[in-house]
Structure 1
Amino acid sequence: MTERSVHPALWPAPHASGAVDATVTVPGSKSVTNRALVLAALASEPGWLRRPLRSRDTLLMAQALRAMGVGIEETVSSSSAAAGAPDVSGEAWRVIPAGLHGPVTVDVGNAGTVMRFLPPVATLADGPVHFDGDPRSYERPLHGVIDALRALGARIEDGGRGALPLTVHGAGALEGGPVRIDASASSQFVSALLLSAPRFNQGVEVRHVGSALPSMPHIRMTVEMLRAVGAQVDEPETGGEPDVWRVAPSALLGRDLTVEPDLSNAQPFLAAALVTGGRVTVRDWPERTTQPGDALRELFTAMGGSCELTPQGLTFTGSGRIHGIDADLSEVGELTPGIAAVAALADSPSTLSGVAHLRLHETDRLAALTKEINELGGDVTETADGLHIRPRPLRGGVFHTYDDHRMATAGAIIGLAVPGVEIENVGTTAKTLPDFPDMWTEMLGA
């Protein structure tokens, strides 16, 4: 982070004096960046990752792969694209696969993608790989990955916790084959196994046996990215058995991938247009994507706005009114904090459902949203699988983040309409959206 992005413990959330009118460039997708790093590290030839997200979570992933022997060279490239083609200038990472090795220690921070995607990679290393992280990471479930890897032939020491810290004793290979897991706590359990599966001797057949899987778009993203590097994947979406994914053993190709903007991180900026009755354009919004954030077009339109997708990006325009919404967010749970913030400012109640798994994210997001919005004068109640929000006049006060980046951006959204909101530890946004405070104030013309 640059020096100007370091902010005090309490950050006065900017209050909008009128309708926002701005164009925003959102950094690359964390979900795509970290999946691409894993696939490039396991490939049979070097590859390029252009416009990767540089944030705490992605730097932890790159640092971990380097520790296990993968070469990752950071460069700045200039565009050589033909007229009319996308501009791919900017930062680029060249990933050079190598024999994975231990002993090493990996710091996962509080990144779900790092703590879940890398233990399967570590089974392919020659030697032990120890995983540790932030205190909150010890509370996040890993049992689905740990139990599955053991069933596939891995040796893992976790003290019986089903969570961090743990050590994977890599043997240079993993037999693989069929495995049954309950991934209802996190779709990342499935993605973790699929990403490394082409390197397993038998590939893998993952059969989910629990209740409904959350965040299915993230699994579809994993499958599409695997296919893009040459993997053979059978999935329910293409006629396979329900809740079964099969990946055949194969070599992976090195690719030249340009990372899409992180559409979930575009949420607060689109929300600004809705809250202020203004207009915000997010550059380079893809016409087609597996990112869950693409659902914002439909969700925020239902809450009172309109959008237009052009070659320049997505332009979202607020109507000056915010409507409540009844929405099943099971596939797009990460959008819940921002939607809850907007719903607290609406003209009618909202019910957000299908997101019980958010209690196991960076923090218990349902409890945190309820507490923080209510302490500003709101009326939010938890349900079994979500939130019921009755709009009330809100007042200023401290909005705590619990080291959760999406709590920080939710508080900033409320601050647009409510004077005197102060965000505690806004710096936690560096997890996936570096320099958010500066981007936010620049959007407002401050």
Structure 2
Amino acid sequence: MSVPIVQRPIEGNIRVPGSKSLTNRAVLCAAMAHGRSVLTGVLDSEDTQVMVEAWKQLGLRIDWDRDRCELVLEGCGGQPPINQGSLFIANSGTSIRFLTAALAATEGKYLLDGVPRMRERPIGDLIRGLRAWGADVVSQNPSDPECPPVLLHAHGLRGGASTVRGDVSSQFLSGMLMAAPYCQEDVHLAVEGALVSKPYVDMTLAVMERFGVQVLRQLGPKEAEHVYQIASGQSYQGIHYAIEPDASAASYFWAAAAITGGCVRVEGLGLDALQGDVAFVKVLEKMGSKVVFGQESNGEAWIEVSGRASHGIDIDMSDISDTVQTLAAVALFAQGPTRVRGVAHNRHKETDRIGDLVQEIRRLGAEAQEHDDGLTIYPRELLGCEIQTYRGHRMAMSFALVAMKVPDCLVLDPRCTEKTYPRYFEDLGRMIGSPPKYL
């Protein structure tokens, strides 16, 4: 894909699609609930489609009005009508981890698998956590038993005490939390080690609470240890639930303003958003951009970023790791190095978001140093080249921002953005005044 060169500051307002993270959490809770749920603002993308299709395959009635971004779902009350199946999850980490935990709480036999890259993504810590609750769940991967496919001979979950690692992916914890109300006994779930992407766990708890389940959260005896208690006998209840715009998707447009010295307002997101990635604007502010939080007369929030991000930064991004690639694009146009820390878990995403990112930064003519927990970016004069995306949607969206400032840059495999933001290049084209061209 060729992105038009932008000579002027980018300015405008935009409403990005619904949050992928909230959509998949809401769909899972609605599917396991008693009664009907109506979800609005639903994201239509590959990751959300595989979650919805999995529940349809298990017999749930789901009506999806894609034009209105609305989904009506009749919950199964904790037991899907069809209690067996081979579920294809593509490369959706949230879907396979959340479904593995939820289906372990039911009765049935299920195989969950995906694309070849999915068979390289970790799930062993979740399997061990579920086994502590009595689950019969195993990896069917002969090359790496820490990764999918996953086979479940589900006969419900006992519950009780269990631990789960928090330093590889917060999705293990979120999956177990969402399954916990359907355990036979009270649940005491402790996080082992550091908890990465904690705002995503907070999001999980907020969605669970809206669907009627209470979780007691406390700090354990060790520093930064998190413990969660869920009483048995609870269940999700069908509700009307509005999904926020996706803050990770919004980050690209805020970054466009920071790179070009423009002014971009994202509608529908504010300081009280459930998504931790809204904190990305604070990173841009530390780099020199101006950030304004506001509200329309009807109460709808917005966040506006203006002015260039003029200088590099040294920052821990463990809580907002999905925006590391966005920051990398901004850092290439700042003065001085940018050091990103706390994101070792980014190696286990759709791509190696550290190693692959470093490779493409170097391909552009800049310098980048790879660290165990992140990377350092040293801006240089950038050269046109073909940018490999490694089927990584965030690689494609982030480097498109670089391509709009560097002549002769081509973003390869741009359609990988269908994973989370199918209309990204259409929206970017409207913002910059000229559509990118598929080659």
TM-score band, normalised by shorter chain: over 0.9
Question: Aligned to 1:307, what secondary structure does the other structure show?
Answer: strand
Q: Which among 196, 205, 221 is matched to residue 203 of structure 2?
A: 221
Aligned match of 2:45 = 55
Cα deviation for residue 239 of structure 1 reads: 11
Kindly state the Cα deviation for residue 63 of structure 1 after the two structures are TM-superposed: 0.5
Give 2:110's aligned amino acid. Answer: V
| Stretch deviating more after TM superposition (393-402 or 152-161) | 152-161
Q: Tell me which amino acid in the other structure corresponds to 2:409.
A: V
Identity level (%)? 33
Partner of 1:37: helix, strand, or coil? Answer: helix
- SS where residue 389 of structure 1 aligns? strand
Residues of 2 paired with 1:130 and 1:401: CA distance?
29
Task: Tell me what 1:86 maps to.
Answer: none
Equivalent in 210, 214, 221 of residue 232 of structure 1:
214
Distance 1:360 1:321, change over 3 A: closer
- Equivalent position to 1:441, from 418, 421, 429: 429
Q: In terms of mean alpha carbon deviation, does 63-72 or 329-338 score higher? A: 63-72
Q: In structure 2, what residue type is equivalent to 1:118?
A: L
> Alignment partner of 2:12: what SS?
strand
- CA shift at 1:400, angstroms? 0.7
Q: Following the alignment from structure 1 to structure 2, what is the Cα–Cα distance between the partners of residues 207 and 169?
A: 25
User: Which residue of structure 1 aligns with residue 181 of structure 2?
Assistant: 198
Deviation at 1:14, TM superposition (A): 2.5
Contact 1:13–1:420 (Cα < 8 Å) also in 2: no
Residue 131 in structure 1 maps to residue 121 in structure 2: no
10, 22, 25: which one aligns with 1:35: 25
Deviations 1:376-418 (A, max 9, x none): 1011001121111111010111111111111111111111221
2:349 aligned partner: 361
Please, which moves more after superposition, 238-247 or 11-20? 238-247
Over the aligned positions, Cα root-mean-square deviation in angstroms equals 1.9
Aligned match of 1:301: 285
1:338 alignment partner, one of 309, 326, 329: 326
1:113 aligns with 2:101: no
Say whether the 8 Å CA contact 2:29–2:236 is kept in structure 1.
Answer: yes
Matches within 5 A, 1:7-22: 11-22=1-12
Which consecutive unaligned segments of at least 5 residues does structure 1 have?
Answer: 1-10, 78-89
Instruction: Supply the distance in 1 between the matched residues of 2:219 and 2:269 (Cα, whole angstroms).
Output: 24
Paired residue for 2:254? Answer: 270
Matched, 1:183 2:166: yes
> Cα offset for 1:46?
1.1
For 2:132 and 2:286, locate their aligned partners in 1 and report how far apart those are by CA, in whole Å. 45
Q: Is the 8 A contact 1:42 1:199 kept in 2?
A: no
Helix, strand or coil for the counterpart of 2:336?
coil
- SS in structure 1 of the partner of residue 129 of structure 2: helix
Partner SS for 2:69: strand
Distance between the aligned counterparts of 1:258 and 1:225, measured in 2? 11
Who is 2:131 aligned against?
150
1:38-83 per-residue CA deviation (whole Å, 9 max, x = no partner) reads 1111111111110100100001000011112222112379xxxxxx
The answer for the alignment partner of 2:402 in structure 1 is 414
Residue of structure 2 equivalent to 1:81 = none
5+ residue gaps, structure 2, are 435-439
TM-score with structure 1 setting the length: 0.91
Deviations 1:3-26 (A, max 9, x none): xxxxxxxx0123212111121110
1:277-334 CA-to-partner distances (Å, cap 9, x unmatched) read 1111111113402312110221111122112222244353432452111110011111
- C-alpha distance in 2, partners of 1:237/1:181? 15
Find the residue that maps to 2:71 and give its secondary structure: strand
> Would the aligned equivalents of 2:281 and 2:305 in 1 still touch at CA under 8 Å?
no
The one of 73, 88, 103 aligned to 1:95? 73
Of the three residues 266, 269, 275, the one matched with 1:291 is 275
User: Residues of 2 paired with 1:169 and 1:320: CA distance?
Assistant: 55
The count of corresponding residues between Structure 1 and Structure 2 is 422
**TM-score, normalised relative to structure 2:** 0.92
Is the 8 Å Cα contact of residues 277 and 317 (structure 1) preserved in structure 2?
no
Is the 8 Å Cα contact of residues 293 and 332 (structure 1) preserved in structure 2?
yes
Q: Aligned equivalents of 1:391 and 1:75: distance in 2?
A: 45
